[in-house]
Amino acid sequence: MITVGHLINGQTSADGGRTQDIYNPSTGAVSKQVALASKITVEHAIAAATAAYPSWRNTPAIKRARVMFKFKDLLEQNAEKICALIGEEHGKISHDAAGELQRGIENVEYACCAPELLKGEHSKNVAPNIDSWSEFQPLGVVAGITPFNFPAMVPLWMYPMAIVCGNCFILKPSERDPSSTLFIAELLKEAGLPDGVMNVVNGDKEAVDVLLTDERIKAVSFVGSTPIAEYIYETASAHGKRCQALGGAKNHAIIMPDADMDNAVAQLLGAAFGSSGERCMALSVAVAVGDEAADQLVAKMSEAMKTLKIGPCHDADNDFGPVITKQHQQKVFSYIDSAEQQGANIVVDGRNPSVKGYEDGFYVGGTLIDRVTAQMDSYSAEIFGPVLQVLRVNTMQEAMDLIDAHEYGNGTCIFTRDGEAARYFSDHIQVGMVGINIPLPVPVAYHSFGGWKRSLFGDLHAYGPDGVRFYTKRKTITQRWPSAGVREGAQFSMPTLS
């Protein structure tokens, strides 16, 4: 059986230590194993990155960007293989995997702008004969720890920008679907990246803890669930590292009484069930304002859900595939059970999915639950499955209060025809990414991505302009070249212009 190894100093190998099974969620069978890096293996990766850093730091930004131009080409040339690898281990349908990859490639395109992004700020003549400028220097060796649900895109949020900024990188991908992530990183060598600048260690908590505590690691980017994000942020910060840790979500859509209901249902259908609801921006809660809107929404949604096609990743006719593991499938089922036990109405029940020929796959059918309340466990938790819950409120303010009271604040959206209502909503809602008649308001690569509240620990969002700031430190230089013969005496008061 194949063991997915590590990429250290340009060489891919497993370290012969602990391993873990990788499943094909579409069939339920074990397909490969992944090596789980020991402390010593991670330390080798850190040593390789540390050795590569001085030369990479001094490589001109345009040369670093040229590697990314080539890398983008290679990603496009290898798209079919990458999407197949994503599908085999994540279960994502090929069209969805292609969308994920494309959003990742857009981050590589943004990283190609490195010379422009790193130009700095210059002020001439801040005082006679004195100029001042700020420049953005790399941090050194930085690390990324990523979740299973976007094995191509989320790592690409991180290392292209970190690398063009002059850093060396160590990535610890999800141990559940590491093959596409590793394959993509290997393409960087072909793109001309020197060995040691980009390294991948597969593994679990043992590997992560080395990255969080080793003093040679200067910054940590994390994306995953909130309890782990909080642990990462606290541990990395306690060890003096810069840290951004993006966590879980519960994304609400407000359905106003004046919304174009057919459009709202079509948008919600894709946003709730696409990728089996395993997106941190999945719309998992619809808050209908008024019973009339709620009744219409539930009737039209349950009708639309009859068209949902569920099945294995390689059949592009399917709308979504399985969830990631058997345990996760059971967890999603248990949230549906609990909603039922606590008094909600299961309108469409996905607990008994039947996918002919794939009976052992980890499927969950699209599920619609009406009359959910804020007190139910299925409402407070992030289910991370193809489950849409409907809450009924009387006013838009009530809907906004619900959203604001939730522990997560990643994404949200309003469906309405009323510009004033939409403007009020986007101005006041306590959520980091807002859509107006847009169900998945994932910022494009030249903006930045991040939630509020317990969806993000740290100050800077991921990728885009915040990515440049995260992976660099500002240095401000003030210089004087006195005219020949002009010398100033000692000044004992704070220097000013007056």
Residue 30: exposure state from Cβ atoms within 10 A (0-12, 13-18, ≥19)? exposed
**What is the strand order of the sheet 121-127 is part of?**
121-127, 130-138, 472-480
Whole-number minimum distance, CB 97 to ligand NAD, in Å? 15
| Number of residues binding to ligand NAD, judged by CB under 6 A | 27
Position 463 contacts ligand NAD (CB under 6 A): no
Q: Which is nearer to ligand NAD, 135 or 204 (CB)?
A: 204
Here the tokens at position 169 are 């990188």
Residue of the chain from 156, 249, 301, 445 that contacts ligand NAD (CB under 6 A): 249
Q: Using the structure block, give the residue that is written with the tokens 């399917």.
A: 318
Stated as kind and residue range, the H or E segment containing 304 is helix 291-304
Residue of the chain from 81, 205, 474, 475 that contacts ligand NAD (CB under 6 A): 205
402 to 431, contacts with ligand NAD by CB under 6 A?
410
Position 213 contacts ligand NAD (CB under 6 A): no
Whole-number minimum distance, CB 462 to ligand NAD, in Å? 7
Position 451 contacts ligand NAD (CB under 6 A): yes
Q: Within 33-174, where are the H helices?
A: 39-57, 61-77, 79-90, 94-111, 114-117, 153-164
Q: Which is nearer to ligand NAD, 116 or 377 (CB)?
A: 377
Look at residue 427 and give its three-state secondary structure.
Answer: helix
Here the tokens at position 437 are 């008649």
Q: If you write DSSP's letter for every residue of 136-166 in order, what string do you get?
A: EEE-SEEEEE--SS-TTHHHHHHHHHHHHTT
Whole-number minimum distance, CB 52 to ligand NAD, in Å? 23
**Whole-Å CA distances, 166 to 29, 276, 349, 456:** 41, 37, 51, 25
Q: Which is nearer to ligand NAD, 145 or 399 (CB)?
A: 145
Position 280 contacts ligand NAD (CB under 6 A): yes
Residue of the chain from 145, 201, 294, 301 that contacts ligand NAD (CB under 6 A): 145
Residue of the chain from 24, 78, 146, 244 that contacts ligand NAD (CB under 6 A): 146
Whole-number minimum distance, CB 448 to ligand NAD, in Å? 11
Whole-number minimum distance, CB 166 to ligand NAD, in Å? 25
Q: Which is nearer to ligand NAD, 67 or 332 (CB)?
A: 332
**Gap between the Cα atoms of 463 and 448, Å rounded:** 5
Position 244 contacts ligand NAD (CB under 6 A): no
Q: Using the structure block, give the residue that is written with the tokens 């793109």.
A: 191
Residue of the chain from 59, 102, 225, 237 that contacts ligand NAD (CB under 6 A): 225
Residue of the chain from 104, 138, 147, 312 that contacts ligand NAD (CB under 6 A): 147
Q: Which of 296, 305, 310, 387 is nearest to 344 (CA)?
A: 387
Position 148 contacts ligand NAD (CB under 6 A): yes
Whole-number minimum distance, CB 248 to ligand NAD, in Å? 3
Q: Which is nearer to ligand NAD, 151 or 353 (CB)?
A: 151
Residue of the chain from 384, 415, 463, 471 that contacts ligand NAD (CB under 6 A): 384
**Gap between the Cα atoms of 44 and 51, Å rounded:** 11
Q: Which of 239, 170, 156, 165 is nearest to 202 (CA)?
A: 170
* Cβ pair 26, 93 in contact under 8 A: no
Task: Confirm whether 112 is a catalytic residue.
Answer: no
Residues 6+ apart with CB under 8 A from 306: none
Q: Which is nearer to ligand NAD, 177 or 319 (CB)?
A: 177
**Gap between the Cα atoms of 290 and 328, Å rounded:** 34
Q: Which of 77, 307, 291 is nearest to 183 (CA)?
A: 77
Stretch that binds ligand NAD, among 77-85, 146-154, 288-296, 301-309 (CB under 6 A): 146-154
Position 86 contacts ligand NAD (CB under 6 A): no
Give me the half-sphere count of Cα atoms (radius 13 Å) on the Cβ side of residue 46.
23
Q: Which is nearer to ligand NAD, 245 or 256 (CB)?
A: 245
Q: Which is nearer to ligand NAD, 64 or 92 (CB)?
A: 92
Whole-number minimum distance, CB 477 to ligand NAD, in Å? 35
Q: Which of 224, 276, 231, 284 is nearest to 248 (CA)?
A: 224
**Whole-Å CA distances, 41 to 5, 201, 209, 256:** 11, 8, 13, 54
Position 259 contacts ligand NAD (CB under 6 A): no
Stretch that binds ligand NAD, among 20-28, 60-68, 247-255, 315-323 (CB under 6 A): 247-255
Position 365 contacts ligand NAD (CB under 6 A): no
Q: Which is nearer to ligand NAD, 35 or 294 (CB)?
A: 35
Tell me the per-residue interface mask from 161 to 180 with ligand NAD, x by CB under 6 A, - otherwise. -----------x-xx-----
**Burial 393-408, CB ≥16 within 10 A → b, else e:** beebeebbebbeebeb
Q: Which of 317, 313, 314, 309 is nearest to 273 (CA)?
A: 309
Residue nearest to ligand NAD (CB): 224
**Whole-Å CA distances, 328 to 322, 345, 364:** 10, 22, 10
Query: Which of 112, 165, 280, 413 is an active site residue?
Result: 280
Whole-number minimum distance, CB 203 to ligand NAD, in Å? 7
Position 248 contacts ligand NAD (CB under 6 A): yes
Residues of the shown chain interacting with ligand NAD in the complex, contacts defined by CB under 6 A: 145-150, 154, 172, 174-175, 204-205, 208, 223-225, 228, 246-249, 280, 382, 384, 410, 451, 455
Catalytic (active-site) positions? 280
